[in-house]
A and B are shown apart, each in its own frame.
Chain A
Amino acid sequence: GDSVTQMEGPVTLSEEACLTINCTYTATGYPSLFWYVQYPGEGLQLLLKATKADDKGSNKGFEATYRKETTSFHLEKGSVQVSDSAVYFCALTPDSNYQLIWGAGTKLIIKP
C-alpha cells in the first residue's frame, strides 16, 4: 500500500545552519505531496505542497521539490531559526482517494 518514510529525529542544528529533512514515498500514480508542521502546543499547519512532478512548494523560507524519479519530497531551508523548532510531517494523498497518508514526523531542534 501507499506509504511515507521520513528521517528519524530529533534533528538538532545550530541557528543559521542548513536544513534537509528527507522524505520518500511509495504510491501508484501521481499523489499530491505535503509538508505539515506542528509547533509546540499547537495544531498541525500546512507548510507547503506540490501536486505534480517537478513542482516546487515553498513557504516561510522552506522548499521541497516533487521528484517522481526518486519518489522523494525532501524539505530544505537555507538558514534555520530557533523559531523553526517543531515537528515536521511529510504526507501524501493518493490520486485514487481523499485520504492523507502520514510519515511518523521528524522533530527539529534549533539551538541559538
Chain B
Amino acid sequence: EAGVAQSPRYKIIEKRQSVAFWCNPISGHATLYWYQQILGQGPKLLIQFQNNGVVDDSQLPKDRFSAERLKGVDSTLKIQPAKLEDSAVYLCASSLEPGPPHEQYFGPGTRLTVT
C-alpha cells in the first residue's frame, strides 16, 4: 500500500513570496489533515478535510494560508505572502475514518525555510 505522498520535500523562499505544497493521501482515506510542525514542537493542526469539505480550520491563519481538496483526493496548501515565522515542516496526514481510534498516517513532510 502506497503511503501519503508530499511534494516538494524542501522549499526555500523569501518573505512575502508565495508557496504551495501538494499532498496525495492513501487511496480510500476520506479524511486529510495539514499540520505545521515548528522545530522542537509537536504538530499543530491547520486544517482537516472530510472528503472535499472542511471539518476544522480554526487554527489556519486565513489571511495568508489557504487549502483546498478538490474531488476529495489530492490537496494543496498555499501560503501567500510568507512570513519568517512560517518556517516549519508542513505535514500531511490521512485516515480511513474520522472516528476513534483515529489512526493517522503521515507523509514525509515539506520543510519550508523563509528568509
Interface of B is mostly: loop
Q: How many residues of B contact A (CB 8 A)?
A: 26
Contact B103 A42 (CB under 8 A): no
Q: How far is the CA of A109 from the CA of B111 in the complex (A)?
A: 23
Contact A43 B100 (CB under 8 A): no
Could you pull out 17 A-B pairs where Cβ atoms are within 8 angstroms?
A: A32-B100, A42-B108, A43-B3, A43-B106, A44-B106, A46-B103, A46-B105, A49-B101, A93-B101, A98-B99, A99-B45, A99-B56, A102-B43, A102-B44, A103-B42, A105-B40, A105-B42
- Which residues of A are in contact with B by a Cβ distance under 8 Å? 4, 32, 34, 36, 42-46, 49, 51, 89, 91, 93, 95, 98-100, 102-105
- Which residues of B are in contact with A by a Cβ distance under 8 Å? 3-4, 31, 40-45, 48, 55-56, 91, 93, 98-109
